C-alpha cells in the first residue's frame, strides 16, 4: 500500500472513529435526566428576562419561571444583555454568547439537548485540533488514532459534553493554544538565524501567519474561562525561553533574540488587553470577584497544597486512566531518567505547561468531589497524549537497547519491536475498552442525574395538584435547583420557612392533596405541621422523594395514603 493510500485509510478510520464517539455522546445524552445547579445558571444567565424571584405567600405561573431559562421570541441574539448579566457574576461571556445563540435559534425551548449539541460542536473542533497537533508532532498514524480513541471515549470527556458549562469550549482554546505555539516554534526554528534578519515584508507575513492566530486564540480563550490564562502564561513562558536560547539564533546577538521575545510578549499582552477592553468586568472578576479573591487567598496557605494535589491527581487517576496514571507516570519518569532519553522542545513545552497548569489549578480549584474534574479537564487530553507517546518512546528505546545488547537470545531480540508495540497496544486497548464500558454502562459518567427522571415523572403525574415550594429565605436561589420538576406544574405557591403564620389561601386550604417541596431546614417539620393545621381537609404528610437541599412531601386527607 502506497503512502498516500495509507494516509487516506487512516484519515477515513479517524473520521469513522469521530462519528462513533458522537454517537456515544448522543446515547449517553439520552440517559441524562436532570441538571446540575450550574447548568441552570448557564441557561438563566444566557437568556435572562426579568430575573428569578420568589415572594412569600404568592402564586407564580411556571411559564414565567421558564421564560428566564429560554429565549422569548423577539429577544434573541441579545449579546449586550448576556455580557451585562455576566458582569454581575464572575465569568467571562463568550460561552454564554454561544449558548444564547443556540437558544435564540430555537426560542421558547428548554432542553438538555441545546447544551449537549453546543458541547458536541466543541468536541468536534477539539478533536480536529488535537489530530492536527499530533500531525505536527509527527505522531504515527496508529498512535494518533489510539490517543483520539482514548480521549474521545473517555468518561471524563463524555461527562463534559453532557455538562452545560464552558469547559468543553475551554478545551478547544487550550488545544488551540498548544497547537499554535508548536506551529510558531516550528516556523521560527525553520528561519535561518533570526526572524529579524528577514526583510520587513517577510516579517509581516510571518507575524500574520503565526502570531496573529495565537492572539486570536488567546483573546477567545480568555473570554471563555479565566483559567485559560494559566495555561497561556506558562506556554508563553516556555516559548519565550526557547526563543531567547534556541540554537538557530545563537549566531546572532542576544539583543536581536530579545527583541523577538519582546515582540511576542507584547503581541500576547495586546490580545489580553483587547479582551479586557472588550469586557471590562474581567479585571474586577479576577482581582475583586469572590472566585478571584478565593483563588488568590489559596496561594497564601501552602500547607494544604499536598492534600489538594493528591485530591486532583486522584480524580485524574481514577476518572481518566482507570487507576493506572500514577504507576505509569512513575515508570515513565524512572525509565526516561535511567535511559537518558531526550525529548524535543515541543514536548518539553507541552509537559511543563500541562504540569504547571495542573498544579496551579490544584491549588486554586474548588473541592467539589468528582465534579471538580471540570477545572483540570481542559488538560486531560495533554496527559493522555504525553503518557501514550512517552510510553511508545520508552518501549521503543528499550527494544532498541535489547536488540543491541548481549543479555538476550537472538530469537527474543528479533521479536522485541513486536513485543514493545504489543505492550503499548494492550495498554491503549485497556483504556479504550474501559472508557467504552463506562460510556455504555453509565458508570463514571458525571452530570447525568438519572434519578431525576422518576422525580420529573412524579411531577408530571401530579401536575394538577396544588404545589407549595417551602424555601429558605437565606438561600432563595436554591429554589431554581428543582426547576426541572417545577416546570411540570402550571403554577406553584411560595412559602418562606421563616413565616410560620397560618396559610389562608383558598386554593391551598380547600385542597384534598398538596405536594410540598421543602428546603432542608431546622424548622421544616414545624412548617409542615403548620400547613396541615391550615387545611381542614388534610391530615398527614409523607416523604416521597429527596435530593440535595430539598425533600418532597405529599400531604393528603385524614386516613388516605400518599401516592
Region 388-400: what's the mean pLDDT? 94
3-state DSSP percent of the chain in helix, strand and coil, to 5: 70, 5, 25
Q: What percent of the chain has pLDDT over 70?
A: 94
Please give the torsion angle defined by the CA atoms of residues 340, 346, 348 and 353, in that order, rounded to the nearest 10 degrees: -170
Looking only at the bridges linking them, the beta strands covering 491-496 and 538-547 are unpaired
**Residue 434: count of CB within 10 angstroms of its CB:** 19
pLDDT-based confidence at residue 561 (cuts at 50, 70, 90) = low
Query: Max alpha carbon distance in the chain (Å)?
Result: 95
Region 9-30: what's the mean pLDDT? 98
d(CA 347, CA 349) in angstroms, rounded, equals: 5
Q: What percent of the chain has pLDDT over 90?
A: 82
Span 361-374, pLDDT tens digits: 999 999 999 999 99
Region 485-500: what's the mean pLDDT? 97
At residue 377, the 3 state secondary structure works out as: helix
pTM: 0.95
**Residue 91: count of CB within 10 angstroms of its CB:** 24
Give 282 or 253, the one with higher predicted confidence. Answer: 282
Please provide the average confidence, as pLDDT, over all residues in the chain. 93
Look up residue 74 and give its three cell numbers: 423577539
Burial track 346-383 (b if 16+ CB lie within 10 A, e otherwise): bbebbbebbebbbbbbbbbbeeeeeebbbbbbbbbbbb
User: Taking a C-beta distance cutoff of 8 angstroms, is the pair 133, 91 a contact?
Assistant: no
Is a pLDDT exceeding 90 seen at residue 297? no
If we measure between CA atoms, which residue out of 319, 231, 317, 218 comes closest to residue 275?
A: 218
Angle at 89 between CA 88 and CA 92, to 5 degrees: 105
Please give the torsion angle defined by the CA atoms of residues 37, 42, 45 and 47, in that order, rounded to the nearest 10 degrees: -120
Look up residue 296 and give its three cell numbers: 488568590
pLDDT-based confidence at residue 539 (cuts at 50, 70, 90) = confident
Region 293-315: what's the mean pLDDT? 89
Please give the torsion angle defined by the CA atoms of residues 303, 353, 335 and 405, in that order, rounded to the nearest 10 degrees: -160
- Check residue 196 and give its pLDDT: 62
Is a pLDDT exceeding 70 seen at residue 252? no
- Check residue 411 and give its pLDDT: 62
d(CA 257, CA 244) in angstroms, rounded, equals: 5
pLDDT-based confidence at residue 469 (cuts at 50, 70, 90) = very high
pLDDT-based confidence at residue 248 (cuts at 50, 70, 90) = low
Span 327-357, pLDDT tens digits: 999 999 999 999 999 999 999 999 999 999 9
Range scoring the smallest mean pLDDT among 71-85, 137-151, 293-307, 519-533 = 293-307
Task: Name residue 469's beta-bridge partners.
Answer: 494, 517
- Check residue 239 and give its pLDDT: 97
Give Cβ neighbours of residue 328 (< 8 Å, ≥ 6 apart): 321, 387, 391, 427
- Check residue 97 and give its pLDDT: 98
Region 436-463: what's the mean pLDDT? 97
Region 541-559: what's the mean pLDDT? 90
d(CA 277, CA 92) in angstroms, rounded, equals: 12
- Check residue 407 and give its pLDDT: 56
d(CA 355, CA 353) in angstroms, rounded, equals: 6
Range scoring the smallest mean pLDDT among 87-101, 158-172, 272-286, 293-307 = 293-307
Span 182-208, pLDDT tens digits: 999 999 888 766 666 566 678 888 899
- Check residue 197 and give its pLDDT: 57
Give 7 or 360, the one with higher predicted confidence. Answer: 360
SS (H, E, C) 141-209: HHHHHHHHHHHHHCHHHHHHHHCCCCHHHHHHHHHHHHHHHHHHHHHHHHCCCCHHHCCHHHHHHHHHH
d(CA 99, CA 224) in angstroms, rounded, equals: 12
User: Taking a C-beta distance cutoff of 8 angstroms, is the pair 6, 43 a contact?
Assistant: no
Residue indicated by cell numbers 526563543: 243
Residue 424 CA: distances (Å) to CA of 343, 380, 561: 19, 19, 61
pLDDT-based confidence at residue 419 (cuts at 50, 70, 90) = confident
User: Taking a C-beta distance cutoff of 8 angstroms, is the pair 195, 246 a contact?
Assistant: no
Is a pLDDT exceeding 80 seen at residue 410? no
- Check residue 6 and give its pLDDT: 86
- Check residue 205 and give its pLDDT: 87
Looking only at the bridges linking them, the beta strands covering 550-557 and 491-496 are unpaired
Residue 461 CA to its chain's centroid (Å):
35
Region 42-53: what's the mean pLDDT? 94
User: Taking a C-beta distance cutoff of 8 angstroms, is the pair 535, 561 a contact?
Assistant: no
Span 114-128, pLDDT tens digits: 999 999 999 999 999
Domain boundaries, the chain: 173-288, 452-557
Amino acid at each position: 500500500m502506497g503512502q498516500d493510500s495509507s494516509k487516506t485509510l487512516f484519515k477515513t478510520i479517524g473520521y469513522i472513529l469521530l462519528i462513533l464517539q458522537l454517537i456515544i455522546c448522543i446515547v449517553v445524552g439520552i440517559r441524562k435526566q436532570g441538571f446540575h445547579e450550574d447548568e441552570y445558571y448557564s441557561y438563566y444567565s444566557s437568556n435572562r428576562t426579568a430575573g428569578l424571584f420568589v415572594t412569600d405567600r404568592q402564586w407564580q405561573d411556571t411559564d414565567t419561571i421558564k421564560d428566564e431559562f429560554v429565549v422569548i421570541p423577539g429577544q434573541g441574539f441579545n449579546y449586550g444583555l448576556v455580557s451585562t448579566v455576566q458582569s454581575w457574576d464572575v465569568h467571562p461571556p463568550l460561552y454564554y454568547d454561544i449558548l444564547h445563540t443556540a437558544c435564540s435559534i430555537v426560542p421558547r425551548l428548554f432542553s438538555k439537548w441545546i447544551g449537549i449539541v453546543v458541547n458536541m460542536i466543541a468536541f468536534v473542533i477539539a478533536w480536529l485540533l488535537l489530530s492536527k497537533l499530533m500531525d505536527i508532532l509527527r505522531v504515527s498514524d496508529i498512535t494518533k488514532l489510539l490517543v483520539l480513541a482514548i480521549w474521545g471515549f473517555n468518561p471524563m470527556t463524555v461527562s463534559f459534553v453532557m455538562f452545560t458549562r464552558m469547559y468543553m469550549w475551554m478545551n478547544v482554546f487550550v488545544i488551540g493554544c498548544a497547537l499554535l505555539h508548536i506551529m510558531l516554534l516550528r516556523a521560527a526554528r525553520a528561519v535561518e538565524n533570526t526572524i529579524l534578519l528577514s526583510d520587513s515584508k517577510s516579517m509581516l507575513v510571518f507575524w500574520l501567519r503565526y502570531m496573529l492566530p495565537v492572539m486570536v486564540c488567546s483573546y477567545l480563550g480568555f473570554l471563555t474561562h479565566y483559567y485559560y490564562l494559566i495555561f497561556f502564561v506558562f506556554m508563553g513562558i516556555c516559548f519565550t525561553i526557547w526563543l531567547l536560547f534556541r540554537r538557530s539564533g545563537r549566531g546572532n546577538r542576544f539583543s536581536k533574540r530579545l527583541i523577538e521575545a519582546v515582540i511576542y510578549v507584547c503581541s500576547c499582552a495586546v490580545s489580553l488587553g483587547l479582551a479586557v477592553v472588550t469586557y471590562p468586568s474581567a479585571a474586577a472578576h479576577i482581582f475583586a470577584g469572590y472566585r478571584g479573591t478565593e483563588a488568590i487567598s489559596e496561594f497564601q496557605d501552602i500547607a494544604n497544597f499536598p492534600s489538594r494535589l493528591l485530591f486532583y491527581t486522584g480524580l485524574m487517576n481514577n476518572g481518566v486512566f482507570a487507576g493506572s496514571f500514577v504507576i505509569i507516570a512513575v515508570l515513565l519518569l524512572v525509565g526516561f531518567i535511567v535511559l537518558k532519553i531526550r525529548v524535543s522542545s515541543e514536548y518539553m513545552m507541552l509537559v511543563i505547561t500541562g504540569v504547571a497548569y495542573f498544579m496551579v489549578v490544584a491549588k486554586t480549584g474548588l473541592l467539589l468531589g468528582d465534579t471538580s474534574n471540570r477545572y483540570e479537564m481542559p488538560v486531560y487530553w495533554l496527559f493522555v497524549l504525553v503518557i501514550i507517546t512517552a510510553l511508545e518512546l520508552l518501549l521503543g528505546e528499550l527494544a532498541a537497547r535489547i536488540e543491541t545488547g548481549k543479555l538476550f537470545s537472538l530469537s527474543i531480540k528479533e521479536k522485541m519491536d513486536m513485543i514493545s508495540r504489543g505492550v503499548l497496544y494492550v495498554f491503549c486497548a485497556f483504556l479504550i475498552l474501559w472508557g467504552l464500558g463506562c460510556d455504555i454502562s453509565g458508570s463514571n459518567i458525571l452530570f447525568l442525574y438519572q434519578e431525576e427522571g422518576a422525580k420529573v415523572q412524579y411531577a408530571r403525574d401530579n401536575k394538577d395538584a396544588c404545589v407549595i415550594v417551602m424555601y429558605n429565605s437565606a438561600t432563595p436561589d436554591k429554589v431554581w435547583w428543582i426547576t426541572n420538576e417545577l416546570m411540570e406544574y402550571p403554577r406553584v405557591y411560595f412559602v418562606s420557612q421563616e413565616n410560620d403564620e397560618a396559610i389562608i389561601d383558598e386554593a391551598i386550604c380547600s385542597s384534598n392533596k398538596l405536594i410540598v417541596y421543602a428546603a432542608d431546614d431546622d424548622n421544616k417539620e414545624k412548617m409542615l405541621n403548620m400547613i396541615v393545621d391550615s387545611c381542614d381537609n388534610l391530615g398527614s404528610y409523607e416523604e416521597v422523594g429527596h435530593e440535595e437541599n430539598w425533600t418532597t412531601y405529599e400531604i393528603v386527607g385524614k386516613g388516605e395514603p400518599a401516592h
